[in-house]
A and B are shown apart, each in its own frame.
Chain A
Amino acid sequence: MSPQLSTPPKVPFFRDTRTLKWVFQIAALLAVFALLYWLYGNYQENVAKSSIQTDLRFLDNPAYFTIPGSDLDQSQPVRDAFVVGFLNTLRVAIIGVALATVLGTLVGIARLSKNFMVRTLGTVYVELVRNLPLLLLLTFMNLAVVLQTFPRIENAWLPLDLFVISNRGIAIPWFIGSSTQLVIGILSAALLAFVVARIRIKRADITGKQDRAWLYGILTFLALVVLIWLLFGYGWELPYVDGRGTTGGLRLDPSFFALLASLVIYTSSHIAEIVRGSILAVPRGQGEAADAIALSSSQKMRLVILPQAFRIAMPALGNQYLNLIKNSSLGATISYFELTQIAQITVGNGSPAVPAFSLTLLVYLAISLVTSLVVNYFNRKLALVER
């Protein structure tokens, strides 16, 4: 008896799940587009009633404002102001990320210390800061610390005669000379130091002696920097109070300081929690194995636990970095001229609101995407390749 091959009964196309799926999707897409179209229509209608621009022509208009800390002239176009704002955002973001990571890691490790006092200090810090809104910290930093606690310029603090601290900013000693040259110099010194360290490690692999790569690397770096300094005739400039301002040195805008301080404190508390969690997530066996081969406590932390912990922490850390970058937009509330402040000012001066703020949002989106890409890159490089 031969088995009969029966074809399944043909389903009419309007009950076929494939068609239905596509119909549903297209319907959903149409619904969303209809909503967007309605919103856009309202927008166009309301805008036409009031004859305001809707494109990016406003970027060519003169800015009519100056930015402290930059030489922007008030007749330069708005796009230049946006560029300055963007650079200011980057500045606070990069420094903030670096400082927050360092502080956060230290506090995270402190929370796991065997020392009761240190542990308590860390716990109090993290629990206190984590549960406060960032804006509160920022307001506190600005109104209470910078404006109230820091002295007026007439009574500025002069710690060690090197710094000038007042509520108009913190002036630090700075070098005199071309900064691009110095940056190039420092980068090449770092490169050379890196090469020297690698050579040391290679030699250590062959001879078996301690490589002390760090020591050699840092010494080379310092030596080269001093060499460049002397060679190109760089000098120091100490700030001093001059009338109602300071002359000499580099003056850190008080808003920059307040913003940086609050961002670093806030983000470091979150990073501390992440670092603590990731250290706890490193398998116990690793720590025990490190003890078994008689590594000292700091060696254990440095060589075994921390590298693995960072691998685990990387995605969460990346998230916190993104948060820090987005939170830097709060600088607009304390007159720090970053991207959002610039956008607010130009909108107040007559630039159309929706295009200006949309441009700002796109820039933040771009920064976020780039940061995500960088973090993902490191994530992939550090990721364990499981068998």
Chain B
Amino acid sequence: MPTGYFSLILHAHLPFVRHPEYPEFLEEDWLFEAITEVYLPLIFIFQNLHEAGARPRVAINVSPPLCEMLADKLLEERYTRHLENLIELANKEVHRTERKAHDFAPVAKMYAENLTASLGLWNDRYKRNLINAFRELQDEGVFEIITCGATHGFLPLISTREARRAQIQVAVQNYRKHFGRQPRGIWLPECAYENGIEDLLKESGIEYFISDTHAILYGDPRPRYGVHAPVMCPNGVATFARDVETSQQVWSAEIGYPGSPVYREFYRDVGWDLPLDYLKPHLHADGARRHLGLKYHSITGRDVPQQAKAAYQPDLAREKTAENAMHFLGERIRQAQELRKQFDGRTPFVLSPYDAELFGHWWFEGPQFLDFFFRKMHWDQNDIEAASPGDFLDSDLPIQIQQPSASSWGENGYFKVWINERNSWMYPYQHDAERRMTELASKNYTHAGGNATVRERASSKPQVTRILNQLARELLLAESSDWAFQIYKGTTVEYSTRRFQSHVQRFDLLAKMLETGEVNEELLAEIERRDNIFQEIDSSLYLP
């Protein structure tokens, strides 16, 4: 038995951003950047680790909106164009830097090589569908893929039981569609938990959820092993909570590894540095500058202004990444030994959750760090063993029963980020739609008469069923916690506000069709075309 278990949890999520109504759309770049910088590199390194026999083990949430975008044909085509265009720029840059900017030649070459390799993986190995890659890694025992709220809805702030339940049930259905099996675990959106959520999870067959540290530390009774062992809610659903020490080592901007001066600077991008005419073929039709993902500078120093940043040197960064990975592993051994002393010999379970997008997007060297870490863990020591929460549950080790405490992983530990003076205006609209959804489902599914099952009744009026299903999609999209989060943070406020308004408006337009019996087929079809998430949805799950 090892001295300690280490459980890496990655949360891969983006809101559903798909705009077929425009030929190109700035916010779709969120997905494209994440595919290039995060998902492809992570898949690539974990596939390689597996093939090398390093036996990596990670639980990863691929959120339902992300799954839906990764499986979408329109976005697939747009991403392919995006990547090809970026490779064109990267190749141009190799020539330019060789002639005129030698300091940046190594980094320009690195991008051209990486991007070309990414295109090969995208086209040839994964056939432009990364869901296949995630599923393959799950089948190989590398990933334990968990689910999330259907649209990352912040469950404690959803007003009806039916709407909360729908966030879970739609997610589980969607997981089955993409991964062909039942999910064992769930990343509660924002790790937001309050008493009673475990009952919804149990109804959907979920065995465990990820929570924040104080869900367990402040739970009742006191946890014998703190957050370094899961607890079981009285209804039998387990929760695993975040270890703070590992969070800080990777995530903290004060002491975290990503702040190393030799690592790549995130905010300095050729999209803002190079002449506009030169960049024009690689920008959107509006010709506006934006981040393009080719970033040539290192952090250099915390107080060094952007214009004084030094050229990024890939070799130096790689050395530092290996050093950080070794340090991280050494710290895990030390931590496990200390914990074990306190635990009377019981093996501690250290759960370390992160946004997947931290690795590769924000922290460029992150995927390489994980690669080094898992290699060293497998070949250079025997104290620490990688394990998923599902592995722990399968071990049949006893678990303490406890009622966890309300909490989230967001700023200040509770719900402030999602309900505050900047975004509280959203909730009367969201809650009104939640109430109407159940009202409309009750009215329309039961009025068809007969003793048939709900599903049969619904299918007797296909147009009504279409409207109800689209209502459910609009409600789910309005509930995405991403909008309230961005509005609070003050980033992409216009877009987030607009998205929330759009879904509430579309919900209202569709609801009025049902309420008045006047169906505008053209409008219905256009809304269906735009918000095509969850084609499998069954809105009868909103029935009380």
Question: Are A and B genuine complex partners?
Answer: no
Q: Which residues of A contact B (CB under 8 A)?
A: none
Q: Which residues of B contact A (CB under 8 A)?
A: none
